Amino acid sequence: MTEMELAAYRKKTRQSKVVDILTTKVACKECSLHQLCLPSSIDGTDLEKLDRIIERKRPLKRNEHLFQVGSKFSAIYVVRSGSLKTYSPTVDGQEQVTGFHLPGELLGLDAIGKGQHPCAAKALETTSICEVPFENLEHLTQELPTLQHQLLRLMSKEIYDDQELMLLLGKKTAEARLSAFLLSISLRFKQRGFSSTEFYLSMSRNDIANYLGLAVETVSRMFTRFQEDGIINAERKHILINDRKAMQQIAGMNNCCEEVASGDTQKSV
């Protein structure tokens, strides 16, 4: 890619739909709730019942909280558009980012057990949310076995995905972590019908570093290295993935993060 082409690309990504994809409403069929209600032949009436208990909240502005640490658990949330990060305070007064949540993904499943949120959720940009009051949901699952099954599946998926991430954090080098992170984001966009090669990272380098257990400087250097090697083009938060195969090699995962088996979407490297 020449400098001119690059400049043109940069200009394009600044304006194009790549950007406002994240501020666009997500249709229900691309949403996690789709997995939660539709797939196993749930019929119209049941879907309507589910729809009835869901509340649409006013959009959050950037840096607004959806919930705080320790706040009472009362609902599960689904991202309609925009994105959030979840984070916990650590002993030394720092915060530890525990996840990023893109359109169609759930938040709050980790709070059911204790009845209060173990982490806080903050919008990374203008973000709109569906709220699913948990008590109502629980009642409804009693009525609708399919819904219950879906809920269990989603929670299981979350456990599974967390374990995948543990593998990553436990073993890998800095470049493997970042590569796996980008592939994960890419896959999640793809699963929602967006481009998997060209997307916008709403979180800061700092958040990424924190999440991956690395220093900001290391993350920055890895971005630079990937760019130098021609594997990605990173114009600030706009990412273009040039060589997916190479990234899979680096991430040490030739098998996964490419095609995911079932109709599951969800969650968070």
Binding site for DNA (CB under 7 A): 62, 173-175, 204-206, 213-221, 223-224, 234, 236-237
Name which of 8, 37, 269, 11 is nearest 150 in CA terms.
Answer: 37
Burial of 213 (0-12, 13-18, 19+ CB in 10 A): middle
Give CA–CA dist 244/196, Å, rounded.
10
Question: Whose Cβ is closer to a second copy: residue 4's or residue 91's?
Answer: 91
Question: Whose Cβ is closer to a second copy: residue 26's or residue 111's?
Answer: 111
204 touches, from DNA, a second copy, none (C-beta below 5 to 8 Å by class)? DNA
Q: Does 98 bind a second copy (CB under 8 A)?
A: yes
* Whether 14 contacts 238, CB under 8 Å: yes
Question: Whose Cβ is closer to DNA: residue 150's or residue 179's?
Answer: 179
The first and second tokens of residue 7, run together, are: 């400049």
Alpha-carbon torsion (232, 242, 231, 99), positive or negative? positive
Contacts (CB under 8 A) with a second copy, residues 32-51: none
Q: Does 20 bind a second copy (CB under 8 A)?
A: no
The residue type found at 164 is: E
Give CA–CA dist 106/108, Å, rounded.
7
215 touches, from DNA, a second copy, none (C-beta below 5 to 8 Å by class)? DNA
φ, ψ for residue 95 (rounded to 5)?
Answer: -115, 150
φ, ψ for residue 29 (rounded to 5)?
Answer: -75, -15
Q: Does 264 bind a second copy (CB under 8 A)?
A: yes
Question: Whose Cβ is closer to DNA: residue 111's or residue 180's?
Answer: 180
Question: Whose Cβ is closer to a second copy: residue 1's or residue 159's?
Answer: 159
Question: Whose Cβ is closer to DNA: residue 71's or residue 220's?
Answer: 220
15 contacts: CB under 8 Å, gap ≥ 6: none
Query: What is the x/- site pattern for a second copy, positions 200-239, by CB under 8 A?
Result: -----------xxx--------------------------
Residues at the contact surface with a second copy, assessed by CB under 8 A: 88, 90-92, 96, 98-99, 109-114, 118-119, 138, 141-142, 145, 148-149, 151-160, 162-163, 165-167, 169-171, 211-213, 252-255, 261-262, 264
